Structure 1
Amino acid sequence: MSRKDTAIHLVAGGIAGSAGAIVTCPLDVVKTRLQSSNGHFGSVPGHIASLNSGTCEPLRARRTFTTAGVLPWSQLRPQTSLVQCLRHIVVHEGPQALFKGLGPTLVGVAPARAIYFGVYSQSKRLLNDVITPDTPLVHIGAASCGGFVTCTVTNPIWVVKTRMQLDHRKKSSRLTTLQCTRRIYAQEGFRGFFKGITASYVGISETVVHFVIYEAIKAQLVARRHGDDKTGERGTRDFLELMLAGAFSRTVASCVAYPHEVARTRLREEGSKYHGFVQTIAIVGREEGARGLYRGLATQLVRQIPNTAIIMSTYEAVVYLLNRHTT
């Protein structure tokens, strides 16, 4: 039963992660660029000076993206709206640019989610045998184990993905996954593939907060709907509630731990001045203030809600279906 359960969680995690990554890839590209050190700076021409928090005079904003001289990404203000950022990428780099880094993401997200959910479920089972079952401490320990193993194994894939998403070139000269991998190894060696891993370890706290909240809400929902019968039939409403629980818990966790994502992106930039997690946080805080540590948060939240909802609902549905049809 243990091996079967592990296999079910691995398959469900892989399918869920892939589904979420495909749907939200354009938002991930925008988020990564907003987090980068060259994503918001440079002089701002007068015809877009009025942009603020996503509101601007429509005709002026439209000229920003439709004139022959499309502005480079570095000259967009951090207040530029999500829709304007997406439109800018399409006009300046082509529609395919919205899916930069999707290749390594799909290569990495399935094993990453599979490894995470597999380690999480096994750690949870082992901890339940040692301490009081299904307590927050169990969920924290299981989430930490899953996050640490996943970060360590998959970090090289995410370094490649980040570099590709920060590549502003058009399709004709765009880096392929293989070219990007070779370039990192040639310039930085094997260690280059583990840039940002300290920030990823710090980011485990986000996963811990997410799963502690999610498990608490899930337990309440199951108890309210099914009482002591945790293996009973589940309907559409059950999965909708789990989807909302996953989205809510992830939103809270993202707000709490977001600065580590900015630091991780900066550390993974090519030839950057950032060399360590604490140093990066200090530099960003000193040069850009608190707002710099939360650049791209709005886009991240917009992305996380559908991404987490898709992942958690797909995961729960696949686990339920596989358990039902493999007994």
Structure 2
Amino acid sequence: MTATTTSIQNQLRKDFEFLNHVKYEHLVAGLSGGLVSTLCLHPLDVIKIRFAVHDGRTDLTPKYSGITNAFATIYTKEGYRGFYRGCTPNCVGAASSWGLYFLFYNAIKTFIQKGNTQLPLGPGQHLLAATQAGAFTLLLTNPVWVVKTRLCLQYSYMDTTKHIYSGMYDCLVKIYTQDGIRGYYKGFLPGLFGVSHGAIQFMVYEEMKNRYNKYRGTSITSKLGTVEYLSFAAISKLIAAATTYPYQVIRARLQNQHHSYSGAFDCISQTWNYEGGRGFYKGLGTNLLRVTPATMITFITYENISHFLLKQSRELPAG
């Protein structure tokens, strides 16, 4: 009985120790970064999704010859509103995803450091912390990404009366009515694989920051300049996107209401059989055009706001 009580107390102590590493400043900074970048670059996200789901086998998905043609076609047939279809769930999803990701990542990283934020971690430890943070974040936000994808794939000039959603809430209700809870987690498996994207990105980003600070002879938590943050964010995103993009195509196709697959493997098989290897990289150019500046905006916003909030938090007791 005593041993059991001691075990429970030790577990509670560990839980509270972990909670001590959870700081709201990272949540607020991440939310801000995700929101700002999404509002600026949502039109490119709409085009990327439409490129990704077009497999050449259905007339329910419009075909564009390139990015310029996509912009011109959407503006001509749908107006400015066409560029912002799915913007609300995208803002909610991006803001909450970045906020939760930064919150979980920094809490897990600090836990691994045993509270000593000045202790440098190795690439493997950064990868582990980012992977765990990504899995937790995806579990909470996948329903939002399903809604965003479906709203982005509504074409006002085509006959899509079978699947019309008036907004985010209406889409959530109809997905539940038609598919139940499982409908909210379509694309979850490739999305879970896609956690590797964020893990690779954060590992590269953190390693570059740490090595640069070591080169400067400063603490790993020292604030860097705007150019450094933007450069490290862009490089890390390009490396991560180039290595993990296919999962985004598979996830978008699984979430597409105009075509049905029995599962992730079926989607991969059909994509390969009908389109070959190139099918897994549809929309990559648009994606890089969107995610690179989006990441730069997100990270520079996050870094500046988090440093400001953490500084205010440290100075608060003295006031």
Say whether the fold is shared (TM-score over 0.5). Answer: yes
Does structure 1 residue 8 correspond to structure 2 residue 25?
Answer: yes
Show CA shifts across 1:19-41 (max 9, x none): 11111100000000001145x56
Show CA shifts across 1:230-280 (max 9, x none): 45565xxx1221111111111111110111000000110115232322221
Does structure 1 residue 87 correspond to structure 2 residue 72?
Answer: yes
CA, structure 1 residues 314+283, in 2 after alignment: closer, same or farther (shift >3 Å)?
A: same
Q: Aligned with 1:324: secondary structure? A: helix
Does structure 1 residue 322 correspond to structure 2 residue 301?
Answer: no
Structure 2 Cα separation of the partners of residues 221 and 99 of structure 1: 39
Structure 1 Cα separation of the partners of residues 213 and 67 of structure 2: 36
Which one of the candidate residues 279, 283, 298 is aligned to 1:311? 298
Structure 2 Cα separation of the partners of residues 232 and 249 of structure 1: 19
> CA contact under 8 A between 1:159 and 1:195: conserved in structure 2?
yes
Structure 1 Cα separation of the partners of residues 242 and 231 of structure 2: 17
The aligned counterpart of 2:50 is 33
- For structure 2, the 5+ residue unaligned runs are 1-16, 158-163, 315-319
Structure 1 Cα separation of the partners of residues 311 and 220 of structure 2: 13
Q: Aligned with 2:218: secondary structure? A: coil
Structure 2 Cα separation of the partners of residues 271 and 255 of structure 1: 27
Structure 1 outlier segments of 4+, above 6 Å? none
Alignment of 1:244-323 (within 5 A): 244-270=231-257, 272-323=259-310
- For structure 1, the 5+ residue unaligned runs are 44-71
Structure 2 Cα separation of the partners of residues 232 and 272 of structure 1: 49
Q: Which residue identity is paired with 1:127?
A: I
Give the CA deviation at 1:129: 3.0
Give the CA deviation at 1:305: 1.1
CA, structure 1 residues 5+324, in 2 after alignment: closer, same or farther (shift >3 Å)?
A: farther
User: TM-score, normalization: structure 2?
Assistant: 0.84
Moved more, 86-95 or 275-284: 275-284
The aligned counterpart of 1:120 is 105
Alignment of 1:133-152 (within 5 A): 133-152=120-139
The aligned counterpart of 1:74 is 62
The aligned counterpart of 1:51 is none
Which one of the candidate residues 17, 21, 27 is aligned to 2:38? 21
The aligned counterpart of 1:240 is 227
Sequence identity (%): 31
Structure 1 Cα separation of the partners of residues 221 and 274 of structure 2: 54
The aligned counterpart of 1:179 is 170
Structure 2 Cα separation of the partners of residues 321 and 41 of structure 1: 51
User: TM-score, normalization: structure 1?
Assistant: 0.82
